[in-house]
Structure formats: structure tokens, C-alpha cells
């Protein structure tokens, strides 16, 4: 049982825009910023979005994040084949005294 809730899968065709949702609670997403991580097959996760909507250097502006209340979302525009990966949202949880993760969303580029 993950702390945050994500859809298990998402898909799109090249060039499309897809969004992935992330739902939490008042003690997690409702009180703390949301971060997103991308995990390519067989590799470690990599920071994609931090503080709800900030991109680290090197992350294309095709990736964007937003948050409202106890929910957040990741949007990927101009979908490319190399975007096929697992995406995880995460947020500090005041009840856990640690970060909680979503269960992950597997993105397939058709």
C-alpha cells in the first residue's frame, strides 16, 4: 500500500501530451511539495521535477509539474519514445516523518 496514489499505467503516441496524476493526504501532498522521479528500465531513479514545478538543469521543458490541494500531476508534452519509463511522485509525509512514494506509473509510448 503506497503512501501516494498514482495510476499504474499511462500511454500515448509520439508527439502527444500525457498527464500522470498523484493523490495524497493533508499530511503529505497537502502540506509539502511534490517531487517526480523518472526510472528508465534497469536504472536508478532520476529527479525530474522538484518543489511541485521546478525542473533540474538538463530536464527538457517538455516535462512540467503542478499541484493543487492534496493532488499533483506531471505533464509530458511532445511525447518521445525515450520517455518510456516508470514515473514516481513523492512527498514528505508528516505522519511518517519521512518521504512517501506513489506506486509508480508505467508510461508506454505506442
Partner 1 sequence: QVQLVESGGGVVQPGRSLRLSCAASGFTFSRYGMHWVRQAPGKGLEWVALISYDGSYKYYGDSVRGRFSISRDNSKNTLYLQMSSLRTEDTAVYYCASWDGHNDGYYDQWGQGTLVTVSS
Catalog residues that contact partner 1 under the rule CB under 8 A.
2, 31-33, 35, 37, 43-47, 50-51, 56, 86, 88, 90, 92, 94, 96-104
Closest CA to 105 of 35, 6, 13: 6
Q: How far is the CB of 59 from partner 1 (least distance, A)?
A: 12
Among residues 14 and 22, whose Cβ is nearest to partner 1?
22
Among residues 50 and 62, whose Cβ is nearest to partner 1?
50
Q: How far apart are CA 48 and CA 5, in angstroms?
A: 18
Exposed e or buried b per residue across 77-105, where buried means at least 16 C-beta atoms within 10 angstroms of its C-beta? eebeeebebbbbbbbbbeeeeeebbbbbb
Among residues 24 and 104, whose Cβ is nearest to partner 1?
104
Amino acid at each position: 500500500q503506497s503512501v501516494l496514489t498514482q495510476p499504474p499505467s499511462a500511454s500515448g503516441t509520439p508527439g502527444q501530451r500525457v498527464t500522470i496524476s498523484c493523490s495524497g493526504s493533508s499530511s503529505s501532498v497537502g502540506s509539502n511539495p511534490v517531487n517526480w522521479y523518472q526510472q528508465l528500465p534497469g536504472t536508478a531513479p532520476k529527479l525530474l521535477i522538484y518543489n511541485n514545478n521546478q525542473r533540474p538543469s538538463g530536464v527538457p521543458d517538455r516535462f512540467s509539474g503542478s499541484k493543487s490541494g492534496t493532488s499533483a500531476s506531471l505533464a509530458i508534452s511532445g511525447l518521445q519514445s525515450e520517455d518510456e519509463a516508470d514515473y514516481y511522485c513523492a512527498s514528505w509525509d508528516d505522519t511518517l516523518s519521512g518521504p512517501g512514494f506513489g506506486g509508480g506509473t508505467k508510461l508506454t509510448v505506442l
